[in-house]
Structure formats: C-alpha cells, structure tokens
C-alpha cells in the first residue's frame, strides 16, 4: 500500500484544547521535532506551557480560528466538546484528524450509541428522551431503574443521575434540566475496561490494553495493564475497539470504554476520539505511548510499536491530594521506581486532575499496590 504524503518533523501541529492531554501530546510532538500551536479560551495552560505558541481565543471566534489554522499543517483536538463550527473552520485550511465527523458522533451520547448500535456493536441498552413523558415511558420498560445522562457535554459522570426505586423521576429530570437525554439501563458490571487504539492514514491500527479501570466518584482512579482477565475477554475487547476505529474511519487515537457484565458480556459505555486517562501508563510502560501515536497518526507516519515493557499501574492525582496539606514530593520521589507526572495546574481543586503516578512491576496487581502506596505517601505528613 502506498503511504500518503507525511507531515514531516519540523512541521507545525495545531491542537484545540489546552489541558493535560494537549500537554502530553505537545511533549511527544516536540520530542519528535515538531512545533506546536495550541488554541483554547484560557491562558498559561498545561498545554500552553510546553507549546511553541499559545493562542487564547474563544472556540467560536472564527477569525482567530482561521488565523490558528493558517499557522499549522494539521489540527487535532484534546477533548471532544470542541464545537463543530470550530473544526469546520479549520478544515477550510488544513486537515483535522480525527475528522470533524468523528467528533460530531462522539460528542453526543445519543448519536454515539445509535451509531455503534446500528453498526452491530454491543452498547449499553439505552432509550432516547426528549421530554419527561419519554423518561416515564422508558422507566416502565427498564423496571424503574437506570442512569439518566445528558446527550451533550457529558464526561466523568457529569450530567448524569442514577435512578432507582427510591428516586423521584420528576426531580431527576429537573436536575438534569436539558432538552435531550438518554436513559441507560443500569449495568451491574464485574469491572470496567478500556482499549486505546491508534489508526494511521493508511489504515494501520494498533491497540493498547484492555486496561482494567477503577473509578472513585465517577472519575478514573487507577488503571492497570495487562488486565487480569481471561484471554477471550482481552481479545474480544481489542477486536471491538478495532472495529469501532475502522468503522468511524478514525485517523488518530480513540479510546473505547467497556463494562464487562457479570455474565462475561462486553458492552461499550462510551468512546473518546483522543488519548485517554486510562492510556497514561503507556508513557512509561510501552515502547510508543498513546500521545506519540497521536502525533504519528495525524502526520501520516508509520505507527510505533505498542509493545509493553512490563506490567504497569497508573493512579490519578486529583486536587484532593493537595488537602489539607500540599503533597510531600520528596516522599514520592524517595520511592525511586515511581514516575511522577504533573500537569502544571496552578490551583488544586477537589476532583481536578493535577497529575498521575505510574509504576512498573512483575505483575499488574503488584504495580497497583505500589502506586496506591506511593499516592498515600504523598499525603502522609
Ligand atoms: P460515564 O461518564 O458515562 O463514563 O460514566 C461514569 C461512570 O459512571 C462509569 O465509569 C461507571 O462507573 C458509571 N456508570 C455510567 N453509566 C453506567 C451504567 N449504565 N450502569 C452502571 N454504571 C454506570
């Protein structure tokens, strides 16, 4: 297969969004000799601190967006809530990878789930809701249980309400206060998994994981790989993820998150068309990390090896770790096999992702114990 014209090192990559995912993308891009321009509404951001140029503009300031796009050779994004008008404005000048169409599907739970279901892929059963009456009708079908989620702007458990026998559906609906939502069936899962896939312009595809993920208050807490699960589950999760990236024609990186039900069925919970928190362990544990794959894929370069050096675990550092006292970095660094990653955010707030720790060990379980001990050491003063 002939390889499309690559965007070679020395070129300039544009990134929409300026959080930690953009920062780690920019670090990988710069290591490969690219220049990076970031655009977001904020200033002195995690990405801006390591990019060559930081542009502060509203995503809907289309003149500034055009100015941004004309400075770069390709555009990617680091979160899925970039407005469609923004990517369309960029596409007038340069390629956007993954394409705006992938973003459009992924940024709305109803569109995403319908797309995957219609493609024959296993998704959590859901009902489309445009009114409170739709919710009442859906609850009759689910036996009164479910997870009510906004169609737009949902992540990390934001915009969702669990409904069970003790919940007043009217107040749940009012709490959400949106014109479009879905009711998902409540899945009493065995565990949560994710696969990060990278796909190049010529269709080359590699996957990482599945990672086994545990959450605290709906936010990812710890990821481990390899997941200690039967081979059948590991292979099937990678196959489904591969299928999703191929069908959506993703050029770049996409994460597919799953529930593994108690009877061993894999159901897709959601997709994210960008590197993912659960893939952060690839930075220390794999030959090529998810961020370098994003750079390679959007530039039309061959992908790197996804070989894992050793079993690994990653623990998030939320702002909570900064309370009541700032973390004891000497204690963390004294555990000299623990890799500390910080995102340069000035203000620690509870629930805010400030950094993460990664540990490699002889087994993923050992790595998990060690990484959790390291996080505790940060706080034990
Ligand atoms: P989400 O933002 O949709 O990924 O949801 C955040 C977390 O809420 C998930 O990682 C699960 O732990 C939990 N959750 C979401 N949807 C469901 C569901 N349908 N059944 C059970 N738990 C869920």
Residue 351 maps to which CATH number?
Answer: 3.30.470.20
Cβ(104) to ligand 1 under 6 A?
Answer: no
When pLDDT is averaged across residues 5-21 and rounded to a whole number, the result is 97
Reading the block at residue 68, the tokens are 């941004």
Is the pLDDT at 1 greater than 60, yes or no?
A: no
Q: Strands of the chain (E only): list them.
A: 12-16, 35-40, 53-56, 74-77, 126-129, 146-150, 160-163, 181-184, 189-199, 205-216, 219-225, 252-261, 266-272, 312-318, 339-342, 353-360
Is the pLDDT at 69 greater than 80, yes or no?
A: yes
Separation between Cα atoms, residue 239 and residue 336, nearest integer Å: 37
Q: What is the pTM for the complete model shown?
A: 0.95
Reading the block at residue 190, the tokens are 């065995």
Q: What is the DSSP letter of 337?
A: T
Share of the chain above pLDDT 90, in %: 87
Cβ-count burial 174-199 (b if 16+ within 10 Å, e if not):
eebeeebbbbbbebebebbbbbbbbb
Residues 70 and 202 reside in one and the same domain: no
User: How many residues are recorded in the chain?
Assistant: 381
Residues 247 and 262 reside in one and the same domain: yes
Give the pLDDT confidence of 330-354 residue by residue, as tens digits.
888 888 999 999 999 999 999 999 9
Bridge partners of 318, per DSSP, are 353
CATH number at residue 146: 3.30.1490.20
How far is Cα of residue 289 from the mean position of the Cα atoms in its chain? 14
Residue 343 lies in a domain: yes
Residues 255 and 305 reside in one and the same domain: yes
Cβ(187) to ligand 1 under 6 A?
Answer: yes
Residue pair 268/122 in contact by the 8 Å Cβ criterion: yes
Ligand 1 atom closest to residue 147's alpha carbon, by position in its atom list: 19
Residue 101 lies in a domain: no
Residue 206 lies in a domain: yes
Instruction: Give the list of residues 6+ apart from residue 107 with CB closer than 8 angstroms, or none.
Output: 80, 81, 152, 153
Residue with tokens 């509870």: 350
Q: Pick the more confident residue, 153 or 213.
A: 213
Residues 329 and 194 reside in one and the same domain: yes
Within the chain, what is the greatest distance between any pair of CA atoms? 60
Separation between Cα atoms, residue 186 and residue 198, nearest integer Å: 30
pLDDT bin (cut points 50, 70, 90) of residue 157 is: low
CATH number at residue 69: 3.40.50.20
Residues 225 and 333 reside in one and the same domain: yes
Is the pLDDT at 2 greater than 90, yes or no?
A: no
Residue nearest to atom 2 of ligand 1 (CA): 157
Residues 208 and 342 reside in one and the same domain: yes
Q: Name the residue range of residue 180's domain.
A: 125-184
Mean pLDDT of the chain: 94
Residues 239 and 316 reside in one and the same domain: yes
Domain boundary among 165, 184, 203: 184
Separation between Cα atoms, residue 212 and residue 258, nearest integer Å: 10
Cβ(155) to ligand 1 under 6 A?
Answer: yes
Residues 83 and 134 reside in one and the same domain: no
Instruction: Give the list of residues 6+ apart from residue 234 with CB closer than 8 angstroms, or none.
Output: 210, 226, 227
Ligand 1 atom closest to residue 213's alpha carbon, by position in its atom list: 10
Max avg pLDDT among 3-7, 169-173, 225-229: 225-229
Residues 355 and 230 reside in one and the same domain: yes
Reading the block at residue 42, the tokens are 């904020």
Give the Å distance between the CA of 66 and the centre of ligand 1: 37
| Domain count within the chain | 3
Residue 114 lies in a domain: no
Residue pair 25/17 in contact by the 8 Å Cβ criterion: no
Domain boundary among 152, 184, 216: 184
Reading the block at residue 21, the tokens are 């995912």
Give the pLDDT confidence of 265-292 residue by residue, as tens digits.
999 999 999 999 999 999 999 999 999 9
Residues 299 and 227 reside in one and the same domain: yes
Residue 102 lies in a domain: no
Cβ(159) to ligand 1 under 6 A?
Answer: no
Residues 175 and 43 reside in one and the same domain: no
Residue 289 lies in a domain: yes
How far is Cα of residue 62 from the mean position of the Cα atoms in its chain? 26
Residue 3 lies in a domain: no
Give the Å distance between the CA of 194 and the centre of ligand 1: 13
Cα 18–Cα 81–Cα 48 angle in degrees, nearest 5: 5
Cβ(194) to ligand 1 under 6 A?
Answer: no
Is the pLDDT at 42 greater than 90, yes or no?
A: yes
Q: What is the DSSP letter of 321?
A: G
How far is Cα of residue 252 from the mean position of the Cα atoms in its chain? 13
Domain boundary among 134, 161, 184: 184
Give the pLDDT confidence of 203-253 residue by residue, as tens digits.
999 999 999 999 998 899 999 999 999 999 999 999 999 999 999 999 999
Residue 49 lies in a domain: yes
Cβ(218) to ligand 1 under 6 A?
Answer: yes
How, if at all, do strands 181-184 and 160-163 pair?
unpaired
Instruction: Give the list of residues 6+ apart from residue 316 with CB closer than 8 angstroms, or none.
Output: 219, 220, 221, 222, 277, 353, 355, 356
Residues 260 and 333 reside in one and the same domain: yes
């Amino acid at each position: 297969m002939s390889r499309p014209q690559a965007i070679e090192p020395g070129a300039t990559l544009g990134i929409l969004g300026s959080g930690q995912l953009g920062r780690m993308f920019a670090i990988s891009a710069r290591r490969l000799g690219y220049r990076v321009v970031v655009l977001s509404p904020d200033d002195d951001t995690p990405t801006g601190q390591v990019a060559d140029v930081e542009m502060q503009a509203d995503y809907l300031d289309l003149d500034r967006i055009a100015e941004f796009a004309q400075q770069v050779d390709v555009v990617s994004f680091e979160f899925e809530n970039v407005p469609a008008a923004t990517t369309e404005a960029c596409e007038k000048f340069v390629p956007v990878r993954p394409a705006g169409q992938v973003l459009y599907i992924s940024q709305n739970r109803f569109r995403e789930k319908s797309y995957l279901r219609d493609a024959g892929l296993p998704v959590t059963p859901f009902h489309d809701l445009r009114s409170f009456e739709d919710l009442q009708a859906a609850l009759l079908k689910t036996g009164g249980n479910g997870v009510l989620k906004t169609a737009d702007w949902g992540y990390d458990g934001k915009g969702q309400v669990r409904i069970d026998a003790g919940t007043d559906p009217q107040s749940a609906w009012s709490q959400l206060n949106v014109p479009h939502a879905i009711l998902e069936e409540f899945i009493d899962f065995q565990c949560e998994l994710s696969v990060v896939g990278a796909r190049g312009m010529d269709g080359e595809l590699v996957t990482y994981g599945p990672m086994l993920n545990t959450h605290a208050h709906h936010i990812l807490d710890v990821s481990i790989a390899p997941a200690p699960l039967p081979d059948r589950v590991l292979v099937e999760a990678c196959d489904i993820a591969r299928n999703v990236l191929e069908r959506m024609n993703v050029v770049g990186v996409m994460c597919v998150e799953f529930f593994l039900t108690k009877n061993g069925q894999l159901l897709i919970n959601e997709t994210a068309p960008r590197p993912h928190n659960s893939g952060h362990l690839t930075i220390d544990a794999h030959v090529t990390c998810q961020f370098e794959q994003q750079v390679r894929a959007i530039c039309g370069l061959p992908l790197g090896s996804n070989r894992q050096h050793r079993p690994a675990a990653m623990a998030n550092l939320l702002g909570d770790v900064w309370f009541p006292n700032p973390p004891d970095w000497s204690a963390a660094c004294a555990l000299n096999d623990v890799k500390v990653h910080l995102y340069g955010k000035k203000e620690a707030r509870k629930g805010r992702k400030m950094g993460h720790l990664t540990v490699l060990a002889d087994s993923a379980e050992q790595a998990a114990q060690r990484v959790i001990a390291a996080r505790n050491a940060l706080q034990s003063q």
